[in-house]
Amino acid sequence: MKVSILDDYFDTLRTLDCFRKLAGHDVTIWNDHVQDVDVLAERLRDTEALVLIRERTQIRTPLLERLPKLKLISQRSVYPHIDIDSCSRLGIVVSSSQHADTPSYATAEFTWGLVLAGMRAIPQQVANMKAGKWQIGVGQSVGGKTLGIYGYGRIGAVVAGYGKAFGMKVLVWAREPAMAKARADGYATAASKAEFFEQCDVLSLHMRLVDATRGIVKAEDLARMKPSALLVNTSRAPLIEPNALVAALRAGRPGMAAVDVYEKEPLRDVNDPLLNLPNAICTPHIGYVTRDEYELQFTDIFDQIVAYAAGAPTNVVNPDVMAKRRQ
């Protein structure tokens, strides 16, 4: 099959062990990021299998309708960036492993790194020292403080364990089935959303972005946080109401934020308000970007291509397409 891979920024995938799974296929890898439909349509005009790296590129109807040879989109995790209905209408199979029992340890580890970086102002201290200055202030320890986990799924549960290991009190807020799981794991749950935001010293978001969770964190929620509190978001930016985080940080509640995700990515606007706040640590969506995580993710993604080529597609998220899929 003619396989195209988008957005492999550092040409990493061909160096992975699992890349050998695509031996015998005609593979083209693009290392830049393009969202222009005309450019993508030209690049992908002969593509039969399209590999996506998470949600880096939007695959919408105007593009899909210009790719007559496309048979398969192979990726991993959620797919809000793909017009699934259009794929089904056009006979394009979408395969996406949901890795139900394998949390992203890379994202959990990075989340914890942001917790420590935020509480101790590590990036700011480094920047000042490189500018010829010495200490710029006094940080906060995490031991004995309250770690809030908003959304107790696979990653949230791992981060809760890190907090416990560092001597933090873990408090969970989520849907009731998830809170029941948290209580079974020995963690406290909040009596209300308001109480949750008021009590947390560190609050970390761990939810999938779906219609029900879009904008679930409101301006009034952030206003309840302590002036000393840290908000961490390695999940999705639209979980927070538009513009609410910048306004909250300017108002001093919470006092700090550490974020890895943005409304529009890649974020290259040096004048973006969030990037210019002294109480915000911003990283370029690298929570899951490790070689180890890539091996896990792309083993699934390449296996899906191999399965499709063998006539037995796996992890199909639009099963209604199977009777009319492109040949």
Catalytic residues, by residue number, are 236, 265, 285
Residues 6+ away with beta carbon under 8 Å from 84: 94, 317, 318
Rounded Cα distance, 164 and 230, in Å:
17
Contact 227, 255 (CB under 8 A): yes
- Smallest CA-to-CA distance from 231 within 258, 260, 268 is with 258
- Smallest CA-to-CA distance from 315 within 55, 75, 90 is with 75
Q: What is the DSSP string of 167-185?
A: TPEEEEES-HHHHHHHHHT
The partner residues of 74 in beta bridges, in order of sequence, read 51, 95
- The one-letter code for the residue type at 290 is T
Rounded Cα distance, 192 and 195, in Å:
5
Residues 6+ away with beta carbon under 8 Å from 165: none
